[in-house]
Amino acid sequence: MAKTKLRIIIADDHPIFRKGLLLAIGSERSIEIIGEAEDGQQALHLTEKLKPDVIVLDIEMPGLTGLQVAEEIIRRHLPSHIVFLTMYKEEDMFNEAMDLGVKGYVLKESAVSDIVAAIKTVANGRYYLSPSISEYLISRGDYARSLLKKKPQLESLTATERKVLRLISGNKTSKEIGDELHISYRTVENHRTNICNKLEIHGSHSLLKFAIEYKTVL
């Protein structure tokens, strides 16, 4: 019995780059490209309709960003694995992608050589990162351990309090946080008070300053 091919969609708004990926993948007999998208909305529509094994997503796209598409794929419980494509080496962007639970992160500068391995690895439920990203993992781990030494009380925060703290780090208001988490403004304010008490943070803007400073590891 023939081995089933991996069905994939490629979403990138640059046609020349997309063509380069198609050529890189085209010679791989175990992979079948079943769709292409040039913006985020189209990528989400195709993923919902075709349910590929893997979708290769550019992070920066018109309509919906790759991050927003990934959030929707996860929210809708679609079965597709995700590989992010990006030009960015910034740690914040990498951390945001990892926090979504996405297992593939490929830099565009090495995408043609990395993409086939990334697709196969992610399809098997394992992580694939462009080699130059690995230093971020080490840096992130060291930074998180350093923060935990300074504020061991972080471990006492509830899951909802951690979510609220992450959203505060994005400079969101209590109303915006409430809307996103589907809770009332007053409940958000109570969470903020509890977080401040647990972390021993005092002052009108001190929580925001703390959240922004440690945004990458919250």
Can you give the pLDDT at residue 54?
97
Look-up of token digits 């998208």: 37
Can you give the pLDDT at residue 96?
78
In order, the DSSP letters of 164-188 are: HHHHHHTT--HHHHHHHHT--HHHH
Tens digit of pLDDT for each residue in 119-173? 999 999 999 988 777 666 666 667 677 777 888 888 888 989 989 998 998 888 9
Assess contact for 7 and 55: CB atoms under 8 A.
no
Look-up of token digits 């990528």: 43
Can you give the pLDDT at residue 1?
43
Whole-angstrom Cα distance, residue 212 to residue 218?
9
Which neighbouring-strand residues pair with 186? none
Can you give the pLDDT at residue 136?
63
Whole-angstrom Cα distance, residue 30 to residue 7?
9
Can you give the pLDDT at residue 165?
92
Can you give the pLDDT at residue 38?
94
What would the two tokens of residue 80 be? 């597709």
Whole-angstrom Cα distance, residue 196 to residue 28?
54
- Counting as low any pLDDT under 50, the low residues of the chain are 1
The domains found in the chain, sorted by start residue, are: 6-133 (3.40.50.2300), 149-217 (1.10.10.10)
pTM for this entry? 0.64
Assess contact for 195 and 165: CB atoms under 8 A.
yes
Sheet strands side by side (includes 54-58): 31-37, 6-11, 54-58, 81-86, 104-107, 128-129
